[in-house]
């Protein structure tokens, strides 16, 4: 069973717009990570947020975490065509180093 589910499943925006995708999960976590996957290729780590953090920034990325709602959001500001990819959240639980991935959001940025 999937721990995380992303919403929306697919998103299409114009270059320069912001993209927001959400991740919901089911159990208590130690950390939540976001990964990007270009078509058919390996995943690349984007950002990690720990359970005691509420917001984190990295370049054009902003991640928020609401542990009371068991949800996280990833905001990509000023999107570019190169941001076109699938984005996955992955949750890690305390005491383990295994992660459960969500189903992903497919983002398409139109030039």
Binding residues (CB under 8 A) for other proteins: these are: 1-2, 4, 31, 33, 35, 40-45, 48, 88, 90, 92, 97-104
- The residue ranges of DSSP E strands in the chain, in sequence order, are 4-7, 10-14, 19-25, 31-37, 43-50, 55-58, 61-66, 71-76, 85-92, 99-101, 105-110
CB nearer to other proteins: give 2 or 12: 2
**Shortest distance (Å) from residue 48 CB to other proteins:** 6
**Shortest distance (Å) from residue 54 CB to other proteins:** 18
Strands 99-101 and 85-92: antiparallel
Please tell me the distance from the alpha carbon of residue 48 to that of residue 58, in angstroms, as a whole number. 10
Which residues share a beta bridge with 89? 34
**Shortest distance (Å) from residue 110 CB to other proteins:** 23
CB nearer to other proteins: give 14 or 59: 59
CB nearer to other proteins: give 79 or 91: 91
**Shortest distance (Å) from residue 26 CB to other proteins:** 13
């Amino acid at each position: 069973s999937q721990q995380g589910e992303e919403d929306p499943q697919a998103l299409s925006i114009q270059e320069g717009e912001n993209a927001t995708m959400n991740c919901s999960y089911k159990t208590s976590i130690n950390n939540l990570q976001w990964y990007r996957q270009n078509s058919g290729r390996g995943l690349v780590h984007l950002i990690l947020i720990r359970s005691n953090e509420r917001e984190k920034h990295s370049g054009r990325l902003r991640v928020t975490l609401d542990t009371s709602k068991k949800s996280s959001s990833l905001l990509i500001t000023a999107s570019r065509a190169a941001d076109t990819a699938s984005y996955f959240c992955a949750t890690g639980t305390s005491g383990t180093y295994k992660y459960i991935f969500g189903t992903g959001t497919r983002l398409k940025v139109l030039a």
